[in-house]
Amino acid sequence: MEKDTSFVLPDGIDIPDVSGLKNAYSVTGEGSLSALLSAEKLMDFITAFTELIPEPVFFFLELPCSTEEEKELRKSESDPFHYKLYYLDNCTRPVIRALIKDYGSMLINDGICRFGFGGNQSGDEIYVQSYKVMSLYCAEDGRTKKTESLLGEFGAEKVEELVTPWEIISKDNPGTCVRAEEDGISPYDLPEMFRKAGMYYAETV
């Protein structure tokens, strides 16, 4: 896939000037990568990366705590905001494929949630964080090389230091994140929807 300089944010994220962003990734440690891709590339890349993860695979979802919960959790204005972490463990690859197909677009376009997938036994993981910055971990060197090759196929340039939305946000170029829904469903509905399939609350982070 040819490299390009155009960059589009998901629907639930707005930054007026994104000219400083591009499809790119950097190596952050042994087996660890940090990556940023334009919105239209994210779903296909996430699907392709999860195909590299040996079964069984888990899905995890982080949802912001409510304002009332934060009043109890945050002791000062400088304290970070908190998320409730949910897991759906030991999935087959077809289940993960179906989950991404049905809800991947909503998860990507939602500016509030964080989510990812990993290997219950292998340790491989993709973590789609705030502003859809991705942290990737590959437990084996072969999968690291495949992941770098995959990122290249999606037009990502290998760089020493990855520029993320956090680096370009300022008072004059603010970042705004809002919730997204598709067909009346938001990420906040998923824990209950998948409860019978085994999704559970793990902790508040």
pLDDT digits (tens, 9 = 90+) for 90-134: 999 999 999 999 999 999 999 999 999 999 999 999 999 999 999
189's CB contacts (< 8 A; 6+ apart) are none
* Alpha carbons 142 and 144: distance in angstroms, whole number: 5
DSSP state of 18: -
The first and second tokens of residue 63, run together, are 């949802």
Cite the beta strand spans of 104-196 per DSSP E. 114-119, 125-128, 134-137, 157-158, 176-177
* Alpha carbons 41 and 4: distance in angstroms, whole number: 12
* Alpha carbons 158 and 137: distance in angstroms, whole number: 16
* Alpha carbons 177 and 2: distance in angstroms, whole number: 30
Return the pLDDT at 77: 81
pLDDT digits (tens, 9 = 90+) for 65-80: 988 889 888 888 888 8
The CA-to-CA distance between both ends of the chain, in Å, stands at 37
Return the pLDDT at 1: 40
pTM for the whole structure: 0.93
* Alpha carbons 205 and 202: distance in angstroms, whole number: 9
Tell me what the mean pLDDT of segment 7-15 comes to.
96
% of the chain with per-residue pLDDT over 70? 98
| Cβ 65 vs Cβ 158: under 8 Å | no
Q: Report helix, strand or coil for 114.
A: strand
Query: Confidence band (pLDDT; 50, 70, 90) for 2?
Result: very low
Q: Is 45 left (phi over 0), alpha (psi -120 to 50) or beta?
A: alpha
Burial label, 128 (beta-carbon count in 10 A; 0-12, 13-18, 19+): buried
